[in-house]
């Protein structure tokens, strides 16, 4: 199953600009895990290049998607797939790491 379909299955709204950015970021992290260590320097610019936008827009739009997901009741699901308790909304880079790890563990991508 592709990453975008998995995200929809988890309840992420696909009508946000950040949705394809998040799917792309997860895909890049799965092929190059080192991106997680240089999110602002490498990952966001790589996603931005793919979508002809800026790295700042990528981060902001994924953050907007995450905020909408969190407000609409996504906390329990993220809590369930997180290896540690989430006491607050995760950052964008934490979300990418969390979902990338979860999708790798579940397999079928």
Query: What's the pLDDT band for 2 if we cut at 50, 70, 90?
Result: very high
* Interval 69-104: pLDDT, tens: 999 999 999 999 998 888 899 999 999 999 999 998
Could you tell me how many helices (H) and strands (E) the chain has, helices first?
A: 6, 0
**What is the residue range of 51's domain?**
1-108
Number of separate domains in the chain:
1
CATH of the domain at 54: 1.10.10.10
Query: What's the pLDDT band for 9 if we cut at 50, 70, 90?
Result: very high
Q: What is the predicted pLDDT for the residue at 1?
A: 62
Residue 107 has pLDDT above 80, yes or no: no
Determine the average pLDDT of the residues in 43-54. Answer: 98
Prediction pTM value: 0.94
Do 25 and 62 contact (CB within 8 A), yes or no? yes
Taking the C-alpha atoms of residue 37 and residue 18, their distance in angstroms, rounded to an integer, is: 21
């Amino acid at each position: 199953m592709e990453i975008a379909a998995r995200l929809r299955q988890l309840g992420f709204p696909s009508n946000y600009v950040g949705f394809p950015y998040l799917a792309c970021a997860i895909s890049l992290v799965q092929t190059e895990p080192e991106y997680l260590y240089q999110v602002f320097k490498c990952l966001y610019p790589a996603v931005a290049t793919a979508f002809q936008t800026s790295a700042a827009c990528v981060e902001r739009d994924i953050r907007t998607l995450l905020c909408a997901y969190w407000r609409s009741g996504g906390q329990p699901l993220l809590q369930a797939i997180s290896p540690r308790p989430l006491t607050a909304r995760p950052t964008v880079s934490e979300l990418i790491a969390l979902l990338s790890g979860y999708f790798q563990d579940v397999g079928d991508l």
